[in-house]
Chain A
Amino acid sequence: DAGVIQSPRHEVTEMGQEVTLRCKPISGHNSLFWYRQTMMRGLELLIYFNNNVPIDDSGMPEDRFSAKMPNASFSTLKIQPSEPRDSAVYFCASSLGQFQTQYFGPGTRLLVL
């Protein structure tokens, strides 16, 4: 079975541009999580969804960040406008349920110049 799929794998953009990261969870998984990894802050949860509904977005840094899950097989994380401090690796993870083991995608490495 395919694992969690993320696209793009790498993104380089200029400050002020809109960035959209995409995630396809494992088929049948009901929970989806977005994490960010930086040297300074390590791995931190941004937001998670259960059955396509956002449950906890307290980790979203600010209004420039938004996430959607229009259906069970697709989620987006959007940054508008992007800033250099948003440079990081963004991971998507999915699980069978909110309290089940999470499986991670390969990540999107974002560089904002």
Chain B
Amino acid sequence: EVQLLESGGGLVQPGGSLRLSCAGSGFTFSNYGMSWVRQAPGKGLEWVSGIGSGGARIDYADSVRGRFTISRDNSKNTLYLQMNSLRAEDTALYFCARRRTMSGGFSGMDVWGQGTTVTVSS
């Protein structure tokens, strides 16, 4: 079964750091680009960051650029999101998601994890 499982969420003070992980299984992880998407309480979905299958292509939303770092370890089938200088507005449920196609333009995200909750509060 194709699965993604996030971990690493929790309660952190403003200005603090947290690292999220996303473990993939049931598919060849190294063949797919991956993304992080978040949903703040009472808000809609917001794309946070994406990384190509080999890790060379990386993109960020303006809201997190310079504070968050996406990376992956294909030998461990794991995606990461290092979050620094956290703010209250980063409080959200964070999902990892797989890009639908192994190559070509963006064609949607077809596999999603259940999410991990990040709360930024003093």
Q: Do A and B originate from a single complex? A: no
A residues within 8 Å of B by Cβ? none
B residues within 8 Å of A by Cβ? none
